[in-house]
Amino acid sequence: MRADYLEPNSGVSNSMLKIKRVVADITLTTEDSGSVILCNPTATTEITLPTPVSGWHCKVVITEDTDGSDGGMNQITNIAFGSYDVVGHIHASDGAAGDYAVDNDDYMNFTAAASPGDSVDIFTDGARWYVNAFCENVSDGDVVFHTAAAT
């Protein structure tokens, strides 16, 4: 019932975020839709997205589990979109032009020079991925779309 859903004590409405902590390579599944992925990589890490299903979405935030600092990441994080079209932009707080996805960009790379708190919102219509990212600095290529995983 609608009243049950709106009643916070009913247990029907689950308004809590689904948080998933990642420290190594992971392949997300359809069940991970709606998750916030906190990635604190212990080595170069790849987050592989599932086969697109309309409505699937997540947010990825890179972190060192400490306060943010410019260029404070120690490791690389790659997001693998697979061989699907990617539509989107990377915006930066440093005022740089940012980056946008083009044909054959199958990855988003967060280099070891990226900053904790850099993040990306991802969703799909079942045919392509839509991406809106925000980071501290893109002028040095810290966060970019690319045809391959960064190493």
pLDDT digits (tens, 9 = 90+) for 14-38: 678 999 999 999 999 999 999 999 9
Q: What integer pLDDT is reported at residue 119 of this predicted model? A: 96
d(CA 136, CA 84): 27
Residue 2 resides in a domain: no
The answer, as to whether pTM is greater than 0.85, is yes
**Half-sphere exposure in the Cβ direction for 123 (13 Å, CA):** 6
Question: For the chain, what is the mean pLDDT?
Answer: 89
Residue 6 resides in a domain: no
> Rounded to 10 degrees, what is the CA torsion of 75, 81, 87, 92?
-10
The whole domain housing 117 covers 16-146
**pLDDT tens for residues 111-146?**
999 999 999 999 999 999 999 999 988 777 889 999
Residue 137 resides in a domain: yes
> What are the Cα distances from residue 145, in Å, to 1, 98, 104, 108?
44, 10, 10, 4
Residue 26 resides in a domain: yes
Residue 63 resides in a domain: yes
Q: What integer pLDDT is reported at residue 102 of this predicted model? A: 92
Residue 8 resides in a domain: no
Residue 1 resides in a domain: no
Residue 4 resides in a domain: no
Quote the number of domains for the chain: 1
